[in-house]
Amino acid sequence: MRGDFTQPQKVINLDAYPLDQRDSPTRRAVIDRCRRELEAQQYCVLPNFILSTARQRAVEDALERQEQAHHISSRRNCYLQRQPDPALPADHPRNIFMEASSRMIAYDHLPDDSPLKTLYHWDETRAFIAEIVGVKELFDNEDPYQPVNTLCFHDGDRSSWHFDSCNAFTVTLMLQAPEGGGDFEIVPNARSDDDQNHAYVASFLQGKRSGDAIRVSREPGALCIFRGCNSLHRVSPVSGNTRRLMGVFVYENEPGVIGDPEVNETVYGARVTAGPAAS
């Protein structure tokens, strides 16, 4: 499925989501719905956001680049830390550790005509998401690795329960579902800016409040926007030979943002010291 996916109309389902028609009642209705859902449940889902041909091409790109995907395997707590705090009790969430494993295909390893890059860089996509999350303007990330990635989960991979460290919102696009597992689950408002809610978080991580987790239904082609800073979330363990593939989009509140080199090395591997690959 090579084709030409450099034009937004070849990638995005503009009939259902007329991003380029600022005065469209349909566009306004989608934005209003998503804003209500983000406020009420900390996530919203836009099914069939991209065309099936574009999704198939993005899947092909990811499968062709599996050898370039950096394998990230770690044992971490829900705050993304890897070392315990001996000053705190063993049942404190700071000292509850879980296994996480995934594989990341960086921006520089995606082809220039990737449907994901077309979607990401289009001004109307950025404006649409800005309206949903309630900010005046968003900007592309300018890091050579971070702007849009493909996150891959093989058999046994999973993302452990965690809070996002600093992202006010996260944008993901489901490309391919696995044979089993790989569910996106979220515990809305497990903490707040004013209350870390340690007792509740510890209780949930110990399995005492597992019923509070919401499984978010996401078919291939669905875009999801969620607020993960105060909501615990994870991807449940994947099983089977079919890989779970997901596009991840990073937008910024100001221009010129690049990533921390140490963080990039953790996520994309030691190769970052040599500079990005040629597309």
Q: Please give the backbone phi and psi of residue 160, each rounded to the nearest 5 degrees, phi first.
A: -75, 165
Amino acid sitting at position 83: Q
Residue 224, classed as helix, strand or coil, is strand
CATH no. of 8-268: 2.60.120.620
Per-residue pLDDT of the chain (279 residues; tens, 9 = 90+): 678 899 999 999 999 999 999 999 999 999 999 999 999 999 999 999 999 999 999 999 999 999 999 999 999 999 999 999 999 999 999 999 999 999 999 999 999 999 999 999 999 999 999 999 999 999 999 999 999 999 999 999 999 999 998 778 999 999 999 999 999 999 999 999 999 999 999 999 999 999 999 999 999 999 999 999 999 999 999 999 999 999 999 999 999 999 999 999 999 999 998 888 865
- Give CA torsion, residues 152, 159, 115, 134, to 10 deg: -170
Q: How far, in Å, CA of 27 to CA of 65, rounded?
A: 35
Distances (CA, A) of 37 to 42, 46, 134, 184, 233: 7, 11, 13, 16, 17
- 264: its two tokens: 């990039």
Question: pTM of whole model > 0.85?
Answer: yes
Domain ranges of the chain: 8-268
Structure tokens at 73: 């395997």
* C-alpha dihedral sign at 55, 57, 61, 63: positive
